[in-house]
Structure 1
Amino acid sequence: MAILATIRRWNTHRARGVLDSPETPGGCWAHLSHIARPGPWDVQPGDEYMLEWEHAQQDGFAYRAVRMWPAGTAPIDPVVRHNSSAYSSSLTLTFDED
């Protein structure tokens, strides 16, 4: 279930920051990859985001974002396309006859 959270701080160069909400006391660590919206992103302190989180120790925080998106919008998860040729491999074994 998503909760409303506010960006406390955001480091654009490191692509991560901290969100605050009553459900995540002390703050919730988040990374740019957790944003469920297509980029570009302009995350600023004070922005409100919907947040899905988990209990996890991350950089001194007891909570870590699983997914987040700007409040008032719907989450849009990226479509992952797999090119089968990029993931193919083969192995050929040959044995000498005795």
Structure 2
Amino acid sequence: MTTRAVVREFHGEEGWGVLDGPAIPGGCWVFFSDIEGTGFRTLYAGQPVSLEYEDLVALYGTGAELDGFRYRATSVEP
């Protein structure tokens, strides 16, 4: 699935963050390796992005979350 979102937070030193958008209620977990580009990749709070994501509960059933998030980004384009 593809949608637009805004970066809620990104922890560059740990390489993960959370995106917010209408299609991903509660937020979407993202890891630095899912950010398109080369070299050091990071995101900034408030930055708009396009992303592909998966619904972990739909794929794996109730309770399938990543750090409390139902959605996981699989590709993010700043």
Post-superposition offset of 1:49:
0.8
Unaligned residue ranges in structure 1 (runs of 5+): 71-98
Preserved CA contact (<8 Å) 2:8 2:45? yes
Taking the aligned partners of 1:50 and 1:6, their CA distance within structure 2 comes to 9
**Cα distance, 1:54–1:6 mapped onto 2, change above 3 Å:** same
Return structure 1 stretches of 4+ with deviation > 2 angstroms. 39-42
Aligned residues: 70
Taking the aligned partners of 2:71 and 2:18, their CA distance within structure 1 comes to 10
Taking the aligned partners of 1:24 and 1:5, their CA distance within structure 2 comes to 8
- Normalising by the residue count of structure 1, what TM-score does the alignment of the two structures yield? 0.67
Residue 33 of structure 1 aligns to a residue whose secondary structure is: helix
Taking the aligned partners of 1:55 and 1:16, their CA distance within structure 2 comes to 18
Taking the aligned partners of 2:42 and 2:17, their CA distance within structure 1 comes to 12
Post-superposition offset of 1:14:
0.7
Larger RCO: 1 or 2 (CA < 8 Å, sep 6+)? 2
Aligned residue for 2:46? 46
- Normalising by the residue count of structure 2, what TM-score does the alignment of the two structures yield? 0.83
Preserved CA contact (<8 Å) 2:35 2:42? no
Aligned residue for 1:66? 74
Preserved CA contact (<8 Å) 2:15 2:42? no
- Matched AA of 2:71: Y
Aligned residue for 2:16? 16
